[in-house]
Amino acid sequence: MANQNHVASPSSEAILREQKQIRREQFFSNKGMLIGLIIFSAIVLSAIFIPMVNGVDPNVMDVVNRLKPPTAEHIFGTDEFGRDLFTRVLYGARSSLIVGCSVALLACFFGTLIGIYASYFKVADAVLMRICEGLTAIPGILLAIALMAALGASNTNVIIALTIVYTPSVARVVRSSALVAKGRLYVEAAKVQGASSGRILWKLILPNVISPLTVQASYIFAQAIISEASLSFLGAGIPAPAASWGNILQSSKSILSKAPWAVIFPGLAVVLCVLSLNLLGDGLRDYLDPRTAGRKKK
């Protein structure tokens, strides 16, 4: 799949260039993916840079200005302690994005290891896949809650718990793509020529797994953000006073009728972020899938 292009001989450079051109056009004609990419980049960039520039402390209380609706000074309003919600949402974005990104990377790393080995070694397959099935049988958020209850609430533990929750689904996706690749003629040929299993796994099979893995990563990123928010909302996630989207929303719950903005803005942040990641994932799937990449959707 991914290494189709490498088959081309040097003389077919023109074809290669044309292919690249087509791919570029496909990239830019994929509106959902572009919109997702733009929104997501905007969230990431503002989470990184705006707190640096405006220098507002997300935890500084200002009792005189508590529960103030959005104004020019506090564009998202203030919460029950008079803290600036805009700043808190941005700091919340930082923790949510760090959790989401770490979980996506770690789950992909372990999922790939498990999936690739499972696809190649029968015994490993039987054992690893049963473990994955068992883990996926437990509803995700519940497993995360249970793990958090055991490990205790902290940033790192949220990442550990969610990585355990999402690794099996990555392993499954990787395994099924790897199984397809394993059956290919060039893999058979390499085996006959005596290539080591390490070489076959990491040089020949792994490239075939990258596309579905990328798509999966973006979905897991999104899912992890929702799960982190839910965990923190339940009080089993990132502990206060550190801002995360989940615990901002948790503290806003009790002031829902007095200060709806304290729910609406952090809520919109979660939705926009998850939506943009899902759009990105859908777009990537269409872009990277050889079956749909050639033709236009709809």
Partner 1 sequence: MVSYILKRFLSLIPTLFVVSLVVFLVVFLIPGGPATAILGMEATAEELAALNAELGFDRPFLEQYASWLGGVFQGDWGQSYFLDMSVLEAIGEYFGPTLSLAIYAELVSLILAIPMGIIAAYKRGSLVDTAAVSVSLVGIALPGFLLSMFLMLLFSVKLKWLPVAGYRELSEGFGQFIRYLTLPALSLGLVQAAYITRMTRSSMLDVLYMNYIRTVRAKGQKEGIVVLVYGLKNAAPTILTVIGQSFGSLITGTIVTESIFNIPGLGSLTMSAINRRDVFVIQGVVLFVTLLYVVVNLVVDLLYGVVDPRIQLGRND
Interacting residues with partner 1 (CB under 8 A): 130-131, 133-135, 137-143, 145-152, 222, 226, 229-230, 233-236, 249, 252-253, 256-257, 260, 263-264, 267, 270-271, 274-275, 278-279, 298
Q: Alpha helices of the chain — where are they, by DSSP H?
A: 13-29, 31-54, 85-120, 122-137, 140-151, 155-182, 185-192, 197-199, 206-234, 245-253, 261-288, 290-293
Shortest distance (Å) from residue 167 CB to partner 1: 13
The Cα–Cα gap between 174 and 153 comes to 31
The Cα–Cα gap between 171 and 230 comes to 24
Q: Give 84's strand partners.
A: 78
52 or 150: CB nearest partner 1: 150
Q: Give 78's strand partners.
A: 84
9 or 257: CB nearest partner 1: 257
Shortest distance (Å) from residue 22 CB to partner 1: 24
200 or 273: CB nearest partner 1: 273
Shortest distance (Å) from residue 56 CB to partner 1: 25
173 or 209: CB nearest partner 1: 173
- Angle subtended at Cα 188 by Cα 182 and Cα 190, rounded to the nearest 5 degrees: 110
12 or 254: CB nearest partner 1: 254
Sign of torsion, CA 271 274 275 276?
positive
Helix axes 85-120, 122-137, angle to 10 degrees: 150
147 or 201: CB nearest partner 1: 147
DSSP 8-state code for residue 65: G
Shortest distance (Å) from residue 118 CB to partner 1: 14
174 or 274: CB nearest partner 1: 274
Which string of DSSP letters, residue by residue, matches 98-164? HHHHHHHHHHHHHHHHHHHHHHH-HHHHHHHHHHHHHHHHS-HHHHHHHHHHHH-S-HHHHHHHHHH
Shortest distance (Å) from residue 223 CB to partner 1: 10
For tokens 């996630």, name the residue.
Answer: 237
Shortest distance (Å) from residue 49 CB to partner 1: 24
132 or 204: CB nearest partner 1: 132
Shortest distance (Å) from residue 193 CB to partner 1: 36
Structure-block tokens of residue 228: 């982190």
Tell me whether the omega of the peptide bond preceding residue 239 falls within 30 degrees of 0, making it cis.
no
